[in-house]
Chain A
Amino acid sequence: MSQLSTRHLLGIKDISPEDIQLIFETADNFKEVLNRPIKKVPSLRDITIANIFFENSTRTRLSFELAEKRLSADVVNFSSSTSSVKKGETLIDTVNNILSMKVDMVVMRHSSPGAPHFLARNITANIVNAGDGTHEHPTQALLDAFSIREKLGDVAGKKIAIIGDILHSRVALSNIFCLQKLGAEVMVCGPTTLIPKHTVSLGVKVEHDVEKALQWCDVANVLRIQLERQQIKYFPSLREYSLYFGINKKMLDRLDKEIVIMHPGPINRGVELNSDVADSEHSIILQQVENGVAVRMAVLYLLAGVK
């Protein structure tokens, strides 16, 4: 198989384990390209990609843009702060306007779950979901799993604890789907108020004691506290969160094994992760960022081949 089973990447839920393996194998090749003196390939020459970000983003947008440029695509960027959305234009009108400019692919981030699915029903371009509200962030999950594979050799059979604000996290949901498709065991850990009531239905373990979660896992993927998506209070204070759910070096030292620490960024240092952990030898946070470009190159390249 050398082609994805879908023409959009809307979520991990919708793709097969074979699709994920193909993306990984393609990303392996692109990672090699990224380490060459000349980091650019002509694969997407004459393809125009619009990065449409209706929500703030720094690293995801930069990562996509870099991936697109490394593939020689033409890139246009559009963000809500400069858009006409604030003037009352609807999502469909905004995107149609951009597509009138003959765009082949759209990378979109939006605060509404399902916004890319809505687009996919209404426009013809390939769509990559760069995060839709509290639903999915598929390329983040792919780069996380790719990084685990790189660090530990395989994802199958590994125990991954996702720690933090599960309720508001699209990274958590995509990670759960992706890791399970690759044969890993998944646990979620956090305050009860930040774990959806029906999470067990996803086939994951649920834990509220961070030390127990760390003891159980091979990899701890620590999530950012999504203060911007919390419209009401879920815990008393950042201080209390940090004391009871934050991870510090002493906790890792108490374990009888070495575990891998991940974080999708940006880190709230001193809240969910102390600097002595984020910057330690346990952490592969910067490798995640590097792998993000290779994985996104793979996704864009493969989707461009599916019409």
Chain B
Amino acid sequence: MAKLLQSLTFIDGNTVHSPKDYIYTGSEILPKSDNYPGNIDEIIDCTGLFASRGWVDLRCVSGEPGEEHKESLESLGELLKAGGFTKAVLMPNTHPAIQDKNDIQFLRSKTKNWITDLVINAAATKDCKGDDFTDILDIHQEGVDIFGDGLNPISNPDRLMKVLQYLQKFNGTLFDQSYEPLLALFGQMHEGVVSTRIGMKGIPNLAEEVAVQKNIEILKYAGGKIHFQTISTKGAVESIRKAKNAGLKVSADVSIYQLIFSDEDLLSFDTNFKVMPPFRGKEDREALIEGLKDGTIDAIVSNHQPQDFDAKHMEFDLAHSGMLGLQTFLPSLVKLSKELGWPLLISKITEGPLRILGEKNEKIHQLTVFDPSETWVYDKKSNLSHSTNHPWFGEILQGKVKFVINSDRLVKVNS
């Protein structure tokens, strides 16, 4: 089973190591040494290729069950593989929502052949509506430790408090995309200079900042753990930084495309740029980058949200929110690597999210191997999703995942 990975450039959260030979034993990756006792079954030339511990995505959405035409679990599995992810957290926002034991069993059975380990974020409230609780303890019996309403915030403070309290029985984590819906009412994009120029109802930073502050105060009272998903504002970064410094059990992630695009991209009314939280301004992006650097933000997520052609091919205010994020994840990293460097980016998709999932960073048994230079055309032919909602569709992208390793499996990503 052992494979020799020749001349591989390994990256961890601290450094880009010089190219070396590594041995993948079938259960862990080790630097090659002359006294390796086993047999080498295969030699893989990795010249020019980069690798790191397997990537972890804390947020992606499926269409199945209910909207298989947007994304099926089969296509999502292929996308996660092509995206280089060996572990991914699936949001509960399907039809029906992921909210009982049967749903969990259904997902596990449909994804058992994935190379990517599935982590389920089950709904904390029925149909993700923020009202009645789901059977949280019952669902936990199926191995689920993460609860939250995914794309919907739990905006009722009493409900959020009680979920935080209830989860403490098994040290569970509440994942919440915190914003105050009443302050985002009818909003279509970030409220700022651009929304003013194009006459579009904006979503102020205040909507997110108020909710994050409120939820931190509730956490102080209730105890428990909260993970703030896809934060987008300077104020949210500052609040989470203070909460972390005060020793509260908070963590946070940011969408990769929040670091790539801004509200100025909406000047042309292209519905591909309609996402939630919306693309913010320059000052917010700078704060998010600072938050990544100083550890306030633990993870970068794909926030993969498929929308079919008809859901996007319409008037802006009627179009659905969301952007694909898996196949474009590495090309996005490549763009960001010039500014942020590979070690920081890799830490936010490996060690950072693993910490949130409560996994210890022991031996490496998952690996993502990629070529940061290879270019490819993102088009109908190469697209693995059932949807096409990404503004880069039709463009030449740089960065290609070559293969992923998960325990005893090595899967090549087809060109």
Whether B193 and A201, one on each chain, are in contact in the complex, defined by CB atoms closer than 8 angstroms, is: yes
Residues of B near A201 (CB, < 8 A) are 192-193, 196-197
Distance from B14 Cβ to chain A, minimum over Cβ atoms (Å): 42
Asked whether, in the complex, the Cβ of A113 is within 8 Å of the Cβ of B269, the reply is yes
Beyond the given A113-B188, A114-B315, please list 18 additional residue pairs across the A-B interface where CB-CB is below 8 A: A90-B310, A90-B314, A92-B313, A113-B200, A118-B314, A118-B316, A132-B199, A133-B317, A134-B199, A134-B200, A136-B199, A173-B197, A196-B195, A197-B196, A198-B193, A201-B196, A202-B197, A232-B185
Interfacial chain B residues near A135, Cβ < 8 Å: 198-200
Question: B171-204 toward A: CB 8 Å interface, digit per residue (1/0)?
Answer: 0000000000000011010011101111111101
Closest Cβ of chain B: how far from A63's Cβ, in Å? 21
**Are B196 and A112 within 8 A (Cβ)?**
no
Q: For B315, what are the chain A residues with a Cβ–Cβ distance below 8 Å? A: 91, 110, 112, 114-115, 118
Q: How far is the CA of A112 from the CA of B316 in the complex (A)?
A: 7
In the complex, A197 Cα to B198 Cα: how many Å?
A: 14
14 inter-chain pairs at a CB distance below 8 angstroms, sorted by A residue, are A13-B197, A90-B314, A92-B313, A113-B188, A113-B317, A114-B198, A114-B315, A115-B316, A117-B268, A134-B200, A135-B200, A199-B196, A201-B196, A201-B197
Measured CA separation A1–B317 after assembly (Å): 37
Most A-side CB within 10 Å, residue of B191, B198, B314, B317: B198
Inter-chain contact B317/A198, CB cutoff 8 Å: no
In the complex, what distance in Å separates the CA atom of A110 from the CA atom of B185?
20
A231 located at the interface, meaning its Cβ lies under 8 Å from any Cβ of chain B in the complex: yes
Please name all residues of chain A whose beta carbon is closer than 8 Å to the beta carbon of B201 when the two chains form the complex: 134
B223 to chain A, nearest CB (A): 36
Q: Is B377 in contact with chain A by the CB < 8 A criterion?
A: no
Known: A112-B318, A118-B269, A232-B185. A197 touches B200 (CB 8 A): no
- Least Cβ–Cβ distance between A259 and chain B, in angstroms: 27
Give the distance to chain B from A163, nearest Cβ to Cβ, in Å.
18
CB distance from A200 to the nearest CB of B (A): 9
A196 to B192, CA, bound (A): 9
Bound-complex Cα distance A109 to B269 (A): 16
Known: A113-B317, A232-B185. A197 touches B199 (CB 8 A): no
**In the complex, A69 has a CB within 8 A of chain B:** no
Shortest CB distance A187–B (Å): 16
Question: Is B314 touching A114 in the complex (CB atoms < 8 A)?
Answer: no
- Whether A114 pairs with B316 at a CB distance below 8 angstroms is yes
Q: How far is the CB of B80 from chain A (nearest CB, A)?
A: 32
B342 → chain A closest CB, angstroms: 37
Assuming A91-B314, A114-B315, is B196 touching A198 (CB within 8 A)?
A: yes
CB distance from B182 to the nearest CB of A (A): 9
- Asked if A173 and B314 sit within 8 Å, CB to CB, the answer is no
Q: Does A263 have its Cβ within 8 Å of any Cβ on chain B? A: no
For the complex, what is the distance from the CA of A132 to the CA of B315, rounded to whole Å?
A: 10
Q: Does A170 make an interface contact (CB < 8 A)?
A: yes
Q: Of all chain A residues, which has the CB nearest B200?
A: A113
In the bound assembly, the distance between CA atoms of A246 and B193 in angstroms comes to 28
- Chain B residue contacts of A90, Cβ below 8 A: 310, 313-314
How far does the alpha carbon of A90 sit from the alpha carbon of B191 in the complex, in Å? 28
Given the interface contacts A118-B269, A232-B185, does A196 sit within 8 Å of B196 by beta carbon? yes
Task: Give the one of B186, B191, B313 with max A CB within 10 A.
Answer: B313
What chain A residues lie within 8 Å of B195 (beta carbons)?
Answer: 196, 198
Chain B, residues 72-83, CB within 8 Å of chain A (1/0): the string is 000000000000
Please give, as numbers and ranges, the residues of chain A lying within 8 Å of B317 by CB-CB distance. 112-113, 133
| Contact A198 to B198, CB < 8 A, known contacts A114-B269, A114-B316, A133-B317 | no
B394 CB to closest chain A CB (Å) equals 14
Task: State the Cβ distance, B265 to closest chain A Cβ, in Å.
Answer: 13
The proximity string for A residues 274-290 relative to B, scoring 1 for CB distances below 8 Å and 0 otherwise, is: 00000000000000000
How far is A242 from B199 in the complex, measured between Cα atoms in Å? Answer: 25
In the complex, chain B residues 187-228 whose Cβ is within 8 Å of any chain A Cβ: 188, 191-193, 195-202, 204
Chain A residues whose C-beta falls within 8 Å of the C-beta of B204 in the assembled complex: 197
